[in-house]
Amino acid sequence: MILSNAQEAKLIDLCKKFRKELIECLHAVGSGHPGGSLSATEIITTLYFCELNVNPKNPNDPDRDRFILSKGHAAPMLYLNLAEKGYFDMRELCNLRQLNHMLQGHPCAKTTPGVDLSTGPLGLGVSAAVGMALAGKLDKKKYNVYVLIGDGETQEGIIWEAAMAASKYKLENLIVILDHNKVQLDGTIDEIMPLGNINAKWESFGWKVIETNGHNIRDISSALKEAKQVKVKPTIIIAETVKGKGISFMEGKNIWHGKPIDDEHFNIAMKELSGGN
Amino acid sequence: MKTKQIRQAYGEALVRIGEKNERIVVLDSDVANSTKSCLFGKKYPERFFDVGISEANMAGMAAGLATTGKIPFINTFAAFMVLRAGDPIRSLIAYSNLNVKIAGAYSGLSDSYDGASHHSLIDIAFMRAIPNMSIISVSDPIETEKSIETCLNIDGPVYIRLSRAEVPYIYDNNYKFKFGKGNILVDGSDLTIIATGYMVHKALDAAKLLKNEGINARVVNIHTIKPIDTELIIKCARETGAIVTVEEHSIYGGLGSSVAEVIVRNYPVPMEIVGIQDVFCESGDYEQLLNKYGLCAENIVAKSKLLFSRK
Ligand SMILES: Cc1ncc(C[n+]2csc(CCOP(=O)(O)OP(=O)(O)O)c2C)c(N)n1
Ligand SMILES: [Mg+2]
């Protein structure tokens, strides 16, 4: 979809709103993962609001595009998007991670409308996406399968098993987006387990590689457009991002991967997120 | 009530044994701040290896290190230890009886808010069925410390079942941890409650409640699930005539199954198994979650009374 200026402005506002709601929600429940939700805000929002062919009124439509949040810990950002789309009431967010409520700590396809695959243990999403994409080709369906993975997540061997399979089966209907925020849980990627030349790795596995700015909605949407024109091979979009994007004390810091947000940090964060508004 | 996090006690114990024994090396897979193996890493950076999010690789590396005489401790959440590192644990470590200590952090429902994908309710079942594997499941901070020291005396793989939870002290520093030997914590003659891990203090609470109702329950802590203390279990069956087991694990393949296997062969008595039924649980507050799924004193009492009436 070609993005108009008005649409772009709307999505920028939406991301602003999501960041605030994310912090409010995680602060209120005292649990959940801020860092990787903030780095993925523009990516997930662009997917839901100018890319995915999905219909909240018919969440199980066999012809819909699929989205898999393989880095399942960014669930709150997925839930905000799903609620805004109309899959369920925004008020569900207040009960995130609480007993007897729908929104699980990691996405659960069984309980939450709009979630295409349950995830949480890292590394599994791409293999399942390969299966979905393969089925799409078998059944001559038009849908695409989109997967968001973390950069740390690609340290799991199964990611590369899936990468080979996607290439073997020429899955042009599969688009992986890598949230390249350069930070994992225990530290930076370079400190914990360096990934080397990421582009060369994926290219050598037979993938088309597209680089983009993962916080720029226009860039993300044009990368997606380019990805859909690729033939006979799967595509990975390497999205350059910042972990904790938008909140100065969280940016680039592994400690904010999954740390509860106390009142003091909440107040600073909300002030920053409200700035220039 | 004095409490401490099991993971903190574990991390501190690693640092202590690391000081005395230079063969000890510690590996983690990007959860070192959660498992507290980071404490060892800060003290002995040259013997600490954080290999990123690659649990199978971590276990494979540990196997290789152990072949040279090193004593690797490998660390990740219990769920990923079993599900990702399971093959190298069985095929490399256990098959060759290599001296690797396998620390399963966040077992049971203790990583409660992360949800069913992170809960670990099948680890005992998996580890127990692997030849050469020993299993220790700790109930309090002192037992954690002592078992980490003791597992060094075993020349082979040991799975140590840890928890994220903050746990009340059951033991004091005089506690003599004996591998393979259960402890009678409260004596009683009407029935025996056999518990492990975080459920031990719940079993103690249940015994108090039962006492008010005129039932004298014996409480046993089985910290070594494999090899299990056959002698003690038979003795309890003979002396109390009924056994309730309590574990933060699936009712299939865990403590309850282990105890049942002993009593059906040796001295059959009525039994109840308190554990997680054949279901995936959900996100929520830890204690609320335990209560919902029956891992609480009230349910242990209810099951004990039912059992007592069958005697
Ligand atoms: C198999 C597995 N191992 C470990 C974890 C614990 N864990 C959750 S998120 C995370 C770090 C993820 O880093 P990255 O993929 O870079 O995600 P992001 O930076 O986007 O948050 C870890 C180790 C997990 N969920 N699954
Ligand atoms: Mg990352």
| Cβ–ligand 1 contact at A184 (below 6 Å) | yes
Domain boundary pick from B133, B168, B203: B168
Q: Note the pLDDT tens digit of each residue in A175-216.
A: 999 999 999 999 999 999 999 999 999 999 999 999 999 999
Domain shared by B142 and B245, yes or no: no
Sheet of strand B48-50, all strands in order from the earlier edge strand to the far edge: B48-50, B24-28, B71-77, B101-105, B158-161, B134-137, B224-226
A65: left (phi over 0), alpha (psi -120 to 50) or beta: beta
Which element (helix H / strand E) includes A190?
helix A189-192
Radius of gyration of chain A measured on its C-alpha atoms:
18
CATH number at residue B85: 3.40.50.970
Does this model's pTM top 0.95?
yes
Sheet of strand B271-276, all strands in order from the earlier edge strand to the far edge: B183-186, B217-221, B191-195, B243-250, B271-276
- Name the average pLDDT for chain B: 98
Which element (helix H / strand E) includes B75?
strand B71-77
Q: Which residue has the tokens 């699929």?
A: A66
Contacts of B48 (CB under 8 A, 6+ apart): B25, B26, B27, B28, B37, B40, B41
Q: At what angle do helices B230-240 and B255-266 cross, to 10 degrees?
A: 70
Q: Note the pLDDT tens digit of each residue in B137-166.
A: 999 999 999 999 999 999 999 999 999 999
- pLDDT the model gives residue B302: 98
Residue contact A153–B289, C-beta within 8 A: no
Q: Is A243 helix (H, G, I), strand (E, B) or coil?
A: coil
Taking the C-alpha atoms of residue A119 and residue B117, their distance in angstroms, rounded to an integer, is 7
Domain shared by B87 and B199, yes or no: no
Q: B248 catalytic, yes or no?
A: no
CATH number at residue B229: 3.40.50.920
Q: Which of residues 229-258 of A touch B (CB under 8 A)?
A: none
**Contacting residues of A for B53, CB less than 8 Å apart:** 122-123, 152-153, 155-156, 184-185, 193
| Cβ–ligand 1 contact at A152 (below 6 Å) | yes
Taking the C-alpha atoms of residue B201 and residue B196, their distance in angstroms, rounded to an integer, is 9
- pLDDT the model gives residue A193: 98
| Cβ–ligand 1 contact at A19 (below 6 Å) | no
Contact A155, A183 (CB under 8 A): no
Q: Is A188 helix (H, G, I), strand (E, B) or coil?
A: strand
Residue A156 at interface with chain B, using a CB cutoff of 8 Å: yes
Taking the C-alpha atoms of residue B226 and residue B179, their distance in angstroms, rounded to an integer, is 9
Taking the C-alpha atoms of residue B200 and residue B221, their distance in angstroms, rounded to an integer, is 6
Q: Note the pLDDT tens digit of each residue in A64-105.
A: 999 999 999 999 999 999 999 999 999 999 999 999 999 999
Domain shared by B217 and B257, yes or no: yes
Residue contact A72–B117, C-beta within 8 A: yes
Helix-strand-coil percent breakdown of chain A, rounded to 5?
45, 10, 40
Q: Average pLDDT in the B7-35 region?
A: 98
Domain shared by B150 and B216, yes or no: no
Domain shared by B145 and B277, yes or no: no
Q: How far is the CA of A36 from the centre of ligand 1 (A)?
A: 9
Task: Give yes or no for residue B1 having a pLDDT over 90.
Answer: no
Nearest ligand, measured from the Cα of A256: 1
Q: How far is the CA of A111 from the centre of ligand 1 (A)?
A: 23
- Residue B81: closest C-alpha in chain A: A121
Task: Give yes or no for residue A1 having a pLDDT over 70.
Answer: no
Q: Which residue has the tokens 């349950």?
A: A118
Domain shared by B32 and B78, yes or no: yes
- The answer to whether position B177 is within a domain reads no
Residue contact A152–B52, C-beta within 8 A: yes
Q: Which residues of A100-138 are buried (b: 16+ CB within 10 A; e: fewer)?
A: eebbbbbbbeebbebbbbbbbbbbbbbbbbbebbbebee
Helix-strand-coil percent breakdown of chain B, rounded to 5?
45, 20, 35
Domain shared by B108 and B62, yes or no: yes
Start-to-end Cα distance in chain A: 28
- The answer to whether position B176 is within a domain reads no
Q: Which one, of B65, B73, B6, B64, lies nearest residue B37 by Cα?
A: B73
Which percentage of chain B shows pLDDT scores above 70?
100
Taking the C-alpha atoms of residue A184 and residue A199, their distance in angstroms, rounded to an integer, is 19
Contact A104, A97 (CB under 8 A): yes
Q: Which of B27, B28, B29, B30 to mutate to test ligand 1, by most ligand atoms within 8 A of the CB atom?
A: B30
Nearest ligand, measured from the Cα of B111: 1
As for how many domains chain B has, the answer is 2
Sign of CA dihedral A103, A108, A113, A117: positive
Q: Average pLDDT in the B104-124 region?
A: 98
Q: Which of B12, B19, B55, B248 is catalytic?
A: B55
Domain shared by B92 and B11, yes or no: yes
Q: Is A105 helix (H, G, I), strand (E, B) or coil?
A: coil
Domain shared by B149 and B244, yes or no: no
Contact A160, A79 (CB under 8 A): no
Domain boundary pick from B121, B143, B168: B168
Place A277 in a pLDDT band, splitting at 50, 70 and 90.
very low
Q: Note the pLDDT tens digit of each residue in B198-227.
A: 999 999 999 999 999 999 999 999 999 999
Tokens linked to B308: 């007592």
Cα B128 to chain centroid, rounded: 12
In sequence order, the β-bridge partners of residue B158 are: B101, B134
The full set of domain ranges for chain A reads 5-274
| Cβ–ligand 1 contact at B30 (below 6 Å) | yes
Contact B160, B17 (CB under 8 A): no
Place B242 in a pLDDT band, splitting at 50, 70 and 90.
very high
- pLDDT the model gives residue B311: 87
Which percentage of chain B shows pLDDT scores above 90?
99
Structural domain that includes position B128: 3-168
Contacts of B173 (CB under 8 A, 6+ apart): B142
- Residue A190: closest C-alpha in chain B: B52
Taking the C-alpha atoms of residue B310 and residue A221, their distance in angstroms, rounded to an integer, is 68
| Cβ–ligand 1 contact at A254 (below 6 Å) | no
- The answer to whether position B178 is within a domain reads no
Residue B38 at interface with chain A, using a CB cutoff of 8 Å: yes
Task: Give yes or no for residue A118 having a pLDDT over 60.
Answer: yes
Atom of ligand 1 nearest to the CA of A179: 20
Q: Note the pLDDT tens digit of each residue in B61-113.
A: 999 999 999 999 999 999 999 999 999 999 999 999 999 999 999 999 999 99
Q: Tell me the shortest Cα–Cα distance from A50 to chain B, in angstroms.
A: 30
Q: Which of A39, A42, A122, A195 to mutate to test ligand 1, by most ligand atoms within 8 A of the CB atom?
A: A122
Residue B50 at interface with chain A, using a CB cutoff of 8 Å: yes
> Which is it for strands B224-226 and B134-137: parallel, antiparallel or unpaired?
antiparallel
Q: Which CATH architecture has domain A5-274?
A: 3-Layer(aba) Sandwich (3.40)
Place A276 in a pLDDT band, splitting at 50, 70 and 90.
low
Which percentage of chain A shows pLDDT scores above 70?
99
**Contacting residues of B for A159, CB less than 8 Å apart:** none
- The answer to whether position B175 is within a domain reads no
Residue A112 at interface with chain B, using a CB cutoff of 8 Å: no
Q: At what angle do helices A75-85 and A5-29 cross, to 10 degrees?
A: 120
| Torsion, CA B54, CA B55, CA B60, CA B63, rounded to 10 | 140
